[in-house]
Chains A and B, each alone.
Chain A
Amino acid sequence: MQKRFTRMYSNNKHVVAYMVTVCFLVFSIFLGVSIGTFPISFFDILQMIGDALFHMGGNGSVDENTQNIVMSIRLPRVILAGLVGASLALAGASFQGLLQNPLADPYTLGVSSGASLGAVFVLFFGIHIPFFGFFTLPVASILTGFMTIIFVIFFAGMIDKAMRIETIVLTGIIMSSFLGALISFMIAMSGEELRQIVNWLLGSVSMRGWVYVMMLLPFFVVGSLLILANGTELNALAFGEEKAHQLGVNVKKRKLLILTSASILAGAAVAISGTIGFVGLVVPHLNRLLWGNDYRHLLPLSALFGAGFLILADLVSRTIMSPTELPIGVITALIGAPSFAFILMKQRMERRG
């Protein structure tokens, strides 16, 4: 009796969680597609979905102009924002569990800066790695992002064995500043297209089109599958590496796997959209508060919610000062930085008891 109750209790909680989060994502997609200088009604969107599903490629009742806007501008933008949001949220959640650090996020850890440096480097020198071709940009970002996180963890561990929250974040910030300086240096050297690169750095998903969706998608699929397969391990790691080991987790292997997949997600996202901060911080934290910390559910829920969140953030960034578009990173930072302060304060208070 008791047991059945537990089962139902936890199952019901998560069924509700998934339903709410999926609804939120769908709603965000509809809003993202619908709102803009040329408004498109929800009804038109529904009709287009209906057409796409039932009369494959048939030109239904929605006029061609609207279809064009949706298919070549709005939809790829919304999907790209969603993928980037999901990637950053997943990366943030896994860094947090792995480092037992609620303030970890690709941005605060310096991974985003590292990935940016790789991307800027590729753009600056116009490098094309033959085998990767089209994927040179994300691959370079992923590699530099991964090197950054490894360095940050190594360095933080060297100065503070206990790897306190603040130490890791401080190391990340120092790393970010240093890498940022390198990027600025390169931009100064380049002299041209300054504004474009600066804009890219602040993060944007505009005018990227389907090409970028295709560029991100394979990394997203590989990275998120790898992370999702490590939900239980992240639960164990959240209790510390020693405890995880005692519970039977192959810590070295899992740690490397999680770090790699989180770097793939974060690096690829940065390569496509520039540095968009705090998504990986705010989204998992909110989901934790709402649905608990069980990583087996926290990861997919954060991914879904992160997608919706970034679609909305992008919507706000392009409508709030229309026709001027704000970088999306500005919006996420406006929400994220206070959240960061809030989480830090909460941790401090808890530690003091």
Chain B
Amino acid sequence: MLQIKNIAGGYQRRNIIENLSFIVEKGEMFGILGPNGSGKTTLLKMIGGLIPVRSGTIELEGKPLQAYSAKQLARKIASLPQNNTQMFDYTVWETVALGRYPFQRGFLKRLTYEDEQVIQQVMEFTNVTKLKHLSIKHLSGGEKQRVFLAQALAQNPSLLLLDEPTNHLDITYQKMLLDQLKKWTKSHGLTVVSIFHDINLASLYCDKMLLLKNGQSVLIDDPNAVLNEKTIHHVYDVSAIKQSHPEIARPQMMLSPEHKHDEKKVFTKEDVIQTKELIYVKAASPLKTLSSAVVGGGFGWHRHFVNRHVPTDDHVSGSQTEMINFLLDNGFSPNETIGMLTSSHVEDGVVEEWEEEGISIIIVVTASISHGADASKNMEKHEHVRAINTWMFINGHLSDQAFIEGMVTATEAKTKALFDEGIIDSATGSSAAEASMDSVLLAATQTGSLHHHAGTGATLGKLIAKGVYESTVKAIQNNKQRWTIND
């Protein structure tokens, strides 16, 4: 579709773009990225034929750009520049209709029926039909942008050049615009070459990306290759962390502000408050968490942690909605809170602090295991209900990998504790491998020393294994004791 070979060019005598080559295939969405002044707009203008190419060639559909007349070129390439200034009032319809100029012939250049069809269609597509009798001077930036997009699409181009198309748009229209363009690349075979400021947005939509720095190409590849921490640091001179998008296989770069939160306090045992109904923590600043809790599960950042006692025969309690309402009623914001449920008496829960080689962890365990008292209540299901909730608060900075390893380590330690305490899974008759309603939380302050690993080979892992094992054993024993007394 578009073949660019060793081009150089710019304004006056200075070359802004130098020795650049790439190929854009038909139906592709091709992103041009780079810091301010890297030559993005110049490159786009060279492709559009606005700035002459000093050396090298640009070929469009196999023919050099110069071989096209102005009108022929306008039937192939349409552009949406960054700013459209106009001194005079035109209506939206008149503006869009100008997009049919390359197809008009003769002295009066009347619009044909087909022209009007196309105008109608593109106005619907960009959602400006309602505005058609209004003057473009009276439109908002976003509306104007859509009108000029309609004008460009009215040219029925095979290649669309966009200079930061989402500049004046709110996220609703950003998404709508890019989704629609993407659709057109698929359905109409439209090729899009677009400048993006937002790396993450580009990553979501582009098939290929070109990273420019000082008029030269740094990398031309798919988003996954272009978005890597080293390259981005080299080009933009900022440190960003690569993350994958939660839903699609596209990477995203996360920036961290210079000022992170106020200095975090060290987390201590005293932060954990135990009542008859709840064990809860209100941390001074958010902790990074990984958990399997009812509320706030998965990765996240949370400040409040609630482990709530619910009677085993309470059918209402236990749903997520009910838990959220409970949190709200008790002054915990669900967005900031990890919420868990337990049938155990939470005052039996174990809260202990473990320290070794400067690493400190606070471990909180509540355990409820099946017992005779419950069995008599004829709800067969409840006979097997056990829930062991394990919380681990770490004063330290954990990598994502360490988080996962920490979870595994904790689970193994807990299983060992269950085995050693002779807890049998009454459903299968075998030794309980995993309690059915168990929840685990691993939270870290993300300050202080960095831990890459939390497996049993690492100091942190060893501490987790030891702490979780002993706390779990203690919690089970507390639980057993209660039923012994009751019985």
Residue B312 is within 8 A (CB to CB) of chain A in the complex: no
Do A245 and B116 contact each other (CB < 8 Å), given the known contacts A6-B93, A288-B89? Answer: no
Residues of B within 8 A of A100 (CB): 85-88
A10, A102, A242: which contacts B88 (Cβ < 8 A)?
A102
Residue A350 is within 8 A (CB to CB) of chain B in the complex: yes
Q: Which residue on B lies nearest to A165, using beta carbons?
A: B87
A102, A242, A247, A293: which contacts B101 (Cβ < 8 A)?
A247
Segment among A111-119, A121-129, A206-214, A229-237 that sits at the interface with chain B: A229-237
Residue A238 is within 8 A (CB to CB) of chain B in the complex: yes
B98–A251 contact, CB under 8 A? no
Q: Tell me how far the C-beta of A335 lies from the nearest C-beta in chain B, rounded to whole angstroms.
A: 21
Provide the bound-state CA to CA distance between A239 and B71, in Å: 17
Residues of A within 8 A of B336 (CB): none
Residue B29 is within 8 A (CB to CB) of chain A in the complex: no
A245–B120 contact, CB under 8 A? no
Residue A166 is within 8 A (CB to CB) of chain B in the complex: no
B49, B94, B116: which contacts A235 (Cβ < 8 A)?
B94
Provide the bound-state CA to CA distance between A96 and B89, in Å: 13
Residue A248 is within 8 A (CB to CB) of chain B in the complex: yes
Q: Tell me how far the C-beta of A283 lies from the nearest C-beta in chain B, rounded to whole angstroms.
A: 15
A238–B120 contact, CB under 8 A? no
A3–B120 contact, CB under 8 A? yes
Residue A41 is within 8 A (CB to CB) of chain B in the complex: no
Interface members, chain A 229-274 (any B CB < 8 Å): 229, 231-232, 235-236, 238-240, 242-243, 245-251
A329-353 vs B, CB cutoff 8 Å, 1 = contact: the mask equals 0000000000000000001001000
A239, A245, A293, A294: which contacts B50 (Cβ < 8 A)?
A245
B98–A2 contact, CB under 8 A? no
B51-83 vs A, CB cutoff 8 Å, 1 = contact: the mask equals 000000000000000000111111101110100
Provide the bound-state CA to CA distance between A288 and B95, in Å: 15
A2–B71 contact, CB under 8 A? no
Residue B297 is within 8 A (CB to CB) of chain A in the complex: no
Q: Tell me how far the C-beta of A191 lies from the nearest C-beta in chain B, rounded to whole angstroms.
A: 46
Residue B102 is within 8 A (CB to CB) of chain A in the complex: yes
Q: Tell me how far the C-beta of A238 lies from the nearest C-beta in chain B, rounded to whole angstroms.
A: 5
Residue A292 is within 8 A (CB to CB) of chain B in the complex: yes
Q: Which residue on B lies nearest to A235, using beta carbons?
A: B98
Residue A85 is within 8 A (CB to CB) of chain B in the complex: no
Q: Tell me how far the C-beta of A341 lies from the nearest C-beta in chain B, rounded to whole angstroms.
A: 17
Q: Which residue on B lies nearest to A350, using beta carbons?
A: B137
A249–B50 contact, CB under 8 A? no
A248–B84 contact, CB under 8 A? no
Provide the bound-state CA to CA distance between A36 and B126, in Å: 60
B50–A242 contact, CB under 8 A? yes
Residues of A within 8 A of B120 (CB): 2-3
B87–A247 contact, CB under 8 A? no
Segment among B13-21, B104-112, B179-187, B325-333 that sits at the interface with chain A: B104-112
Q: Tell me how far the C-beta of B65 lies from the nearest C-beta in chain A, rounded to whole angstroms.
A: 13
Do A250 and B86 contact each other (CB < 8 Å), given the known contacts A2-B129, A235-B94, A236-B101? Answer: no
A247–B81 contact, CB under 8 A? no
B89–A251 contact, CB under 8 A? no
Do A248 and B88 contact each other (CB < 8 Å), given the known contacts A232-B101, A236-B101? Answer: no
A232–B109 contact, CB under 8 A? yes
Provide the bound-state CA to CA distance between A235 and B89, in Å: 11
B50–A247 contact, CB under 8 A? no
Residue B9 is within 8 A (CB to CB) of chain A in the complex: no
Do A236 and B69 contact each other (CB < 8 Å), given the known contacts A246-B74, A288-B89, A292-B91? Answer: no
Count residues on chain A whose CB falls below 8 Å from chain B CBs. Answer: 36
Residue A101 is within 8 A (CB to CB) of chain B in the complex: yes
Provide the bound-state CA to CA distance between A101 and B94, in Å: 19
Interface members, chain A 85-104 (any B CB < 8 Å): 96-97, 100-102
Q: Tell me how far the C-beta of A101 lies from the nearest C-beta in chain B, rounded to whole angstroms.
A: 7
Residues of A within 8 A of B49 (CB): 245
Main secondary structure of the interface of A (DSSP, over half): helix
B94–A292 contact, CB under 8 A? yes
B102–A248 contact, CB under 8 A? yes
B70, B93, B109: which contacts A296 (Cβ < 8 A)?
B109
Do A97 and B88 contact each other (CB < 8 Å), given the known contacts A232-B101, A247-B155? Answer: yes
Residue B90 is within 8 A (CB to CB) of chain A in the complex: yes
Residues of A within 8 A of B155 (CB): 247-248
Provide the bound-state CA to CA distance between A3 and B350, in Å: 76
B25-57 vs A, CB cutoff 8 Å, 1 = contact: the mask equals 000000000000000000001001110000000
Residue B133 is within 8 A (CB to CB) of chain A in the complex: yes
A248–B74 contact, CB under 8 A? yes
Residue A9 is within 8 A (CB to CB) of chain B in the complex: yes
B123-146 vs A, CB cutoff 8 Å, 1 = contact: the mask equals 000000100110001000000000
A296–B108 contact, CB under 8 A? yes
Residue B455 is within 8 A (CB to CB) of chain A in the complex: no
B132–A6 contact, CB under 8 A? yes
B84–A249 contact, CB under 8 A? no
Q: Which residue on A lies nearest to B95, using beta carbons?
A: A239
Provide the bound-state CA to CA distance between A288 and B88, in Å: 9
Provide the bound-state CA to CA distance between A347 and B89, in Å: 12
Residue B99 is within 8 A (CB to CB) of chain A in the complex: yes
Residues of B within 8 A of A296 (CB): 108-109
B84–A250 contact, CB under 8 A? no
Provide the bound-state CA to CA distance between A229 and B109, in Å: 9
Q: Tell me how far the C-beta of A293 lies from the nearest C-beta in chain B, rounded to whole angstroms.
A: 4
A191-232 vs B, CB cutoff 8 Å, 1 = contact: the mask equals 000000000000000000000000000000000000001011
B86–A238 contact, CB under 8 A? yes
Do A239 and B133 contact each other (CB < 8 Å), given the known contacts A246-B79, A247-B102, A248-B101? Answer: no
A294–B101 contact, CB under 8 A? no
Q: Which residue on B lies nearest to A231, using beta carbons?
A: B109
Residues of B within 8 A of A350 (CB): 137
Residues of B within 8 A of A2 (CB): 120, 129
Residues of B within 8 A of A235 (CB): 90, 94, 98
Provide the bound-state CA to CA distance between A235 and B101, in Å: 10
Provide the bound-state CA to CA distance between A242 and B107, in Å: 23
Provide the bound-state CA to CA distance between A246 and B153, in Å: 12
Provide the bound-state CA to CA distance between A240 and B74, in Å: 16
Provide the bound-state CA to CA distance between A250 and B102, in Å: 10
A294–B94 contact, CB under 8 A? yes
Provide the bound-state CA to CA distance between A306 and B151, in Å: 32
Provide the bound-state CA to CA distance between A101 and B48, in Å: 25
A246–B48 contact, CB under 8 A? yes
Q: Which residue on A lies nearest to B111, using beta carbons?
A: A7
A9–B90 contact, CB under 8 A? no
Provide the bound-state CA to CA distance between A296 and B97, in Å: 13
Q: Which residue on B lies nearest to A103, using beta carbons?
A: B87
- 8 intermolecular pairs with C-beta atoms under 8 Å apart: A2-B120, A3-B120, A102-B88, A165-B87, A240-B86, A248-B71, A288-B88, A347-B87
Nearest 4 A-B pairs (CB), nearest first? A248-B74, A248-B102, A250-B70, A248-B71
With A243-B81, A246-B152 known, 17 other A-B pairs at CB within 8 A are: A6-B132, A100-B85, A235-B98, A240-B84, A242-B45, A245-B70, A246-B74, A246-B79, A246-B81, A247-B102, A248-B71, A249-B101, A250-B69, A288-B88, A288-B89, A293-B89, A350-B137
